[in-house]
Structure 1
Amino acid sequence: MQIQKEDSKERILKVAKEEFLIKGFKDASMRVIAKKSGVGLSNIYNYFRNKDEIFCEVMSSVLAAFRKMVDDHNAPEHINLNVFTNSDFQHIMINDFLGLINKYRQELKLLLFYSHGSSLENFKEEFIQESTETGKAYLQKMKEKYPHLNSNISPFFIHTISSMWMNIIGEVVTHDELLDSEIEDFVREYIAFSTAGWKRLMKA
């Protein structure tokens, strides 16, 4: 019985994901999800309270990937001047970004542009704010480790950089014509540009 229940739940999530990707959250139909999953509409509510809960479950993997990206930013090994010069650090950043895009391209597009009406519709603004706080904490940790660094950087600048990063993700996922090699070239260029700018700003 438990196996059958879990199988039904997975079918609902699989069909719901397809429906969300095609129509966005607002226009996705619970009736269509019920019909295509083979689970009666009333029975769906035995698994999920509402459409929003289904949506959040569908998006849980990409949300976890974003969370990991934020956590990794302040990881002890990144509190190091080598981030400005070491090609291995930059290679990791490139691979992390490409991994996120390659694995969750459609989910990212859905999350950033077609989540209106859901509890995740403000994700972009909330993530920018969280990234701003993460950036401020990162500067403080770098200053503690390297007192000679300049950490007197305006919060609005950090906020703007965080916003730009989210817009970059949005640009990449909406340009379906981009080849993987073109995305990799762009990310490499952006990281080189960004790293040089932070190095000069922090007087590293």
Structure 2
Amino acid sequence: MQYLKEEMRNKIVDEALKEFLKSGYKDTSIRTIVKNAETSIGNFYKYFKSKEDLYETIVEPVYSRLIQYVNRFFEVEVNEKMQEIFYSLLEEVIKIFEENRNELAVLLNSSKGSKYENCKKIFIEFITRTVTISFEYQLSMYKKAIEDNFIIKLLSYNFVEDIAIVLKEKRNKREVRKLISDLLEIFYGNIIGKLEVREI
């Protein structure tokens, strides 16, 4: 009997994930989820307190993992080993994107109206800061500093938007990984020479 309960809970989660991807948090209704899961609203409330509780069940584990890595990036000491550590942490982040494509697609594309609706902004700020720190360290070798990192902010905004599209449109893990790596190269591969810098 316990197996059947777990099976129904998983079915509700699976149908909710599809519906959140299609309609977004705000426009998804519990009625549609339970209809697609072939259960009742009464039965839904045996498993989840609310739509918000269900949404959190889906996105919170992957959101928390990402935030842990974000915090680890910010703990990295600025020195010659920084680049190596950044790349190793970035590899772990890409693995999360590969393994949790649907949940992240929901988080980045469909969180309006939920408590996670600012997650895109958090990731944009995180990427902007990480890239800025990395380039500042490289420039410091030549006794230069970034005068204005506005171009990095713009690129980071577009990078996160593009990742959101990749996660929503692409199914294959290998393809997701390649596209994210390609986007990193396209956006940040050759911009250090285009930054506004000053002598220090």
* Normalised-by-shorter TM-score class: 0.5 to 0.7
Give the paired residue count: 188
* Equivalent pair of 2:108/2:120 in contact (CA under 8 Å): yes
TM-score by length of 2: 0.66
Give unpaired runs (5+ residues) of structure 2: 134-140
1:123 counterpart residue number: 119
Q: Name the CA shift for 1:124/1:37 in 2 (closer, same or farther; >3 Å).
A: same
Measured after TM superposition, the shift of residue 191 of structure 1 is 5.3
2:137 counterpart residue number: none
Measured after TM superposition, the shift of residue 79 of structure 1 is 4.7
Q: Per residue, is there more strand in 1 or in 2? A: 2
Q: Does 1:186 align with 2:183?
A: yes
Query: Aligned AA for 1:172?
Result: I
Give unpaired runs (5+ residues) of structure 1: 140-147
Q: Does 1:95 align with 2:84?
A: no
Name the Cα RMSD after superposition.
Answer: 4.3
Question: How far apart are the structure 2 equivalents of 1:114 and 1:52?
Answer: 13
SS at match of 1:16: helix
Deviations, residues 137-191 of structure 1 (Å, cap 9, x unaligned): xx7xxxxxxxx9x9x989x959x856753541221331547x5534323324545
Q: Name the CA shift for 1:172/1:163 in 2 (closer, same or farther; >3 Å).
A: same
Within 5 A, what are the aligned runs for 1:120-199? 120-126=116-122, 131=126, 161=152, 164-165=155-156, 167-175=158-166, 176=169, 179-180=175-176, 181-188=178-185, 190=187, 192-193=189-190
SS at match of 1:9: helix
Give identity over the alignment, percent: 24
TM-score by length of 1: 0.65
Q: Name the CA shift for 1:163/1:6 in 2 (closer, same or farther; >3 Å).
A: farther
SS at match of 1:174: helix
Query: Aligned AA for 1:187?
Result: L
Question: How far apart are the structure 1 equivalents of 2:44 and 2:154?
Answer: 37
Question: How far apart are the structure 2 equivalents of 1:121 and 1:31?
Answer: 23
1:113 counterpart residue number: 109
Q: Does 1:24 align with 2:24?
A: yes
SS at match of 1:81: coil
2:8 counterpart residue number: 8
1:144 counterpart residue number: none
